[in-house]
Amino acid sequence: MPLPINPISVFDTSFLNYPHLQLASHIMGIGEAFSVHKYYQEMPPGVPHGAEIKDIGTRYHELTYAVMAGTFGRKSERDALRVKAVLATTLALNWAGMRYLMEKDFEYVSNLGVDHKKDPAPRSTAPVMLPAPSKVSLEQDPMTGALRYLIGRVKGAAAYHVQACLGDPNDEAAWTLEWQFTKIKGGVSLNGLEPGKVYYVRVRCLGHAGLGPWSTYVHLMVT
């Protein structure tokens, strides 16, 4: 029996028209949501798993940053990856919408980081801004000119945006060093630092609602 409506039409897909950076962040969040959803630990052939969507979104996000930083020769590569990221995301959402329409179970379309056009239950799936990591610390890294930054995992985070400064940490203009990590287990290495200098470090999470607030900063001298 054919479905009465196009499965993906149960979702509000207006986010597909977002600018590059915002779209990439949103797709990373959707991939994370699929990867932890109880109904989507396995996907049928041809439908990307959440981890694959998150990976494509992360690479798209990195390419977008590179172009924004002046690497204009990678624009075509970024644009091609946008198409791939959108295709992977829409395939997964179409599958989720089809399961919902067939099973009549709202759980199939809940907590996926995408709003619904018609919400059959009094729940909200509007993106929620993630809090800052509450557990952060710095220690010396085995590499010269580097520090190891330990970050407590935040559920739902697609990436962790880290900044460091040498000057006054209360001066936003002083936070000139930046890194982004998708894996934080065991800590992350902050390279390219000057030995003998004290660095202040902070972090915020990237989720499907965008970047959250900054954590409390910590500081340490590089040896």
0.75 cut: is pTM over it?
Answer: no
Backbone angles phi, psi at 166, to 5 degrees: -100, -25
206 confidence band (pLDDT: 50, 70, 90): confident
Beta-carbon contacts of 35 under 8 Å, excluding residues fewer than 6 positions away, are 49, 50, 51, 53, 54
Inter-residue contact 33 to 111 (CB < 8 Å): yes
Query: Does residue 183 have a pLDDT over 70?
Result: yes
The domains found in the chain, sorted by start residue, are 7-109 (no CATH), 136-221 (2.60.40.10)
Reference 203, options 150, 105, 132; nearest CA is 132
pLDDT higher at 105 or 49: 49
**CB-CB neighbours of 166 under 10 Å:** 15
Could you read off the pLDDT of 9-41 as tens digits, one per residue?
888 888 888 899 889 999 999 999 999 999 999
